[in-house]
Amino acid sequence: MEPNWALARKRPALEKRARILQGIRAFFVAREFLEVETPQRIPANAPEFHIDAVGSEGWFLHTSPELCMKRLLAAGYPRLFQLCRCWRQGERGSRHLPEFTMLEWYRAEADYRALMDDCEALLQALLPQGRLTWQGQAIDLAPPWERLSVREAFARYASIGLDEALGGGRFDEIIALEVEPHLGLQTPTFLIDYPVQLAALARAKPADPRVAERFELYIAGLELANAFSELTDPVEQRQRFARDEAERRAAGKPPYPSPEKFLDELAAMPPAAGIALGVDRLVQLLCDAATIDQVVAFTPEEL
């Protein structure tokens, strides 16, 4: 039989992917982050309204390694990173795979601003030439990158204001269709300070409790990472989980158990900041690939 030509054609992308993964490891190891592996099959994820987990014999495949990594933070590990597979039900598109690779890293005694610095340094380490072109769009990676508040982004790019979008339940739609395409086009953009109701595990900003210390990183309109200063108050966290779980049930979604061990140990967690970065999309960007399919060896449809 003839070799699978479509698979053979992916070779340059897969070789670049391997170098990027090695570059990410080298970056964090040099900064004295401990690489960890946490279980991918767990009894409970953080219950989030819009994220559906894949079940596995009564437990779940993790939607992110977040909870286990925070338990390590709470046990006194100050700097952690992990490269792992995550699963999310029903997510399949030109930028989405139901099984994908996530990079998460956490810093104790830091807030989300330290993670912005990390992002700038990581991309510089991966791309020493300081620029990239994705689908015809040239992007200058020289720091500091743009920091744009969610409120300002709505004022600048959206057809309706932030409060109207939140009140009408149209926030996600406006962000995805009207705002995202403008973000990170000349230089990467940190979209910062999300309305506090949109911050499941993030801490409210001390100077302005209406917003949470959360940011998303955009490059060339691609959403690459979600980060926040962690909420370390177990009482508040329990309330937010209960609210999200109630919303899930009201919408007819299957119930999720509460991650009790995480909630118990959260009280011991120091102030910290954490970030999740989609590695497949990062590779997509660095390979100038139009779709996420081009940078993974196999898509679900090819199995």
Partner 1 sequence: MYSCADLKKGLKLMIDGEPHVIVQFDFTKPGKGQALYKCKLRNMITGSLFDRTYRSGESFEPASLEEREMQYLYQDETGYVFMDNRNFEQVTMSADTLGDDKYFLVDNMEVKILLFNGQGIGITLPNFVNLRVTQADPWVKGDTAAGNNKPATVETGYSLQVPSFVEQDTLIQIDTRTGEYVTRVKE
Binding region for partner 1 (CB under 8 A): 1-3, 5-6, 8-12, 48, 50-51, 90-96, 171-173, 175-177, 180, 198, 200, 216, 223, 226, 251
Residues with Cβ within 8 Å of 27's Cβ and at least 6 positions away in sequence, in order, are: 121, 122, 125, 126
Q: How far is the CB of 220 from partner 1 (least distance, A)?
A: 15
Q: How far is the CB of 166 from partner 1 (least distance, A)?
A: 12
Q: Is residue 120 a contact partner of residue 143, using CB atoms and an 8 Å limit?
A: yes
Q: How far is the CB of 198 from partner 1 (least distance, A)?
A: 7
Q: How far is the CB of 175 from partner 1 (least distance, A)?
A: 5
Q: Give the residue with the Cβ less far from partner 1, 124 or 149.
A: 149
Q: Give the residue with the Cβ less far from partner 1, 11 or 156.
A: 11
Q: Give the residue with the Cβ less far from partner 1, 132 or 227.
A: 227
Q: How far is the CB of 49 from partner 1 (least distance, A)?
A: 8
Q: Give the position of tokens 């005694």.
A: 109
Residue 25 CB-density burial (10 A; 0-12 exposed, 13-18 middle, 19+ buried): middle
For residue 273, give the H/E element and its range: strand 272-278
Q: Give the residue with the Cβ less far from partner 1, 64 or 108.
A: 64
Q: Give the residue with the Cβ less far from partner 1, 5 or 255.
A: 5
Q: Give the residue with the Cβ less far from partner 1, 176 or 242.
A: 176
Q: How far is the CB of 6 from partner 1 (least distance, A)?
A: 7
Q: How far is the CB of 191 from partner 1 (least distance, A)?
A: 10
Q: Give the residue with the Cβ less far from partner 1, 93 or 136.
A: 93
State the Cα–Cα distance between residues 199 and 211, nearest whole angstrom: 9
Q: How far is the CB of 168 from partner 1 (least distance, A)?
A: 12
Which phi-psi region, left, alpha or beta, contains residue 77 (left: φ > 0; alpha: ψ -120 to 50)?
A: beta
State the Cα–Cα distance between residues 288 and 132, nearest whole angstrom: 9
Q: End-to-end distance of the chain based on CA atoms, in angstroms?
A: 18
Q: Which of 156, 177, 154 is nearest to 166 (CA)?
A: 154
Q: Is residue 42 a contact partner of residue 67, using CB atoms and an 8 Å limit?
A: yes
Give percent helix, percent strand, percent coil of the chain, each to the nearest 5: 40, 25, 35
* Residue 163 backbone dihedrals phi, psi, to 5 degrees: -65, -40
Alpha carbon 78 to chain centroid, angstroms: 20
DSSP bridge pairs for 226? 216, 276
Q: Give the residue with the Cβ less far from partner 1, 14 or 36.
A: 14
